[in-house]
Amino acid sequence: MNCPYCNSTETKVIDSRPVEEGLAIRRRRECERCGKRFTTFEKIEESLLVVLKSNGKRESFDRNKIVSGVLKACEKTDVTYDQIEKIANDIERGLNNTMEKEIESHIIGGLIMDELKKLDQVAYVRFASVYHQFTDVSTFVKEVNKLLGDTDTDAK
């Protein structure tokens, strides 16, 4: 591993710990030449997933897009970054377990909405408003009413 500061290959691992529920390893390293420390991550390379967008285009799956979208939906809520990471990890793992090479984007959006619905209703409605491209208040109200109907059903 090359040091990002001096590009030396003489580095040593000073700490390792599992992250992402054991799916990756975080390593703290120290350069033996300049003495600076840096962090690396080691992760199993998953098979390449391709996302089929609604406009027919294809692009590589990027879990960071899930994290970014959920993070925006969860602004000013009690949802933690660890919970957001867990959603992204669970969805990525689930998609990889399907053994499909192409996944339609609406499936990913639906999985995100399912997770947000369980986690935080405000984040769910925010995400739904962008995902379903709400164009007017009545569409927004319908989604909230649907959510309230599900909540009433859960309470019974």
Q: How confident is the model at residue 150 (pLDDT cuts 50, 70, 90)?
A: low
In this predicted model, what pLDDT tens digit does every residue of 24-69 receive, in sequence order?
A: 899 999 999 999 999 999 987 666 889 999 899 999 999 999 999 9
Share of the chain above pLDDT 70, in %: 93
Domain borders along the chain are 11-43, 50-155
Q: Which two tokens stand for residue 100?
A: 């499909």
Q: Which two tokens stand for residue 143?
A: 């989604």
24-31, strands of its sheet edge to edge: 11-19, 24-31, 37-43
In this predicted model, what pLDDT tens digit does every residue of 85-111 receive, in sequence order?
A: 999 999 998 998 888 889 999 999 999
- pLDDT at position 45 is 67
Q: Which two tokens stand for residue 147?
A: 């959510």
Note if the pTM is more than 0.75.
no
- pLDDT at position 156 is 44
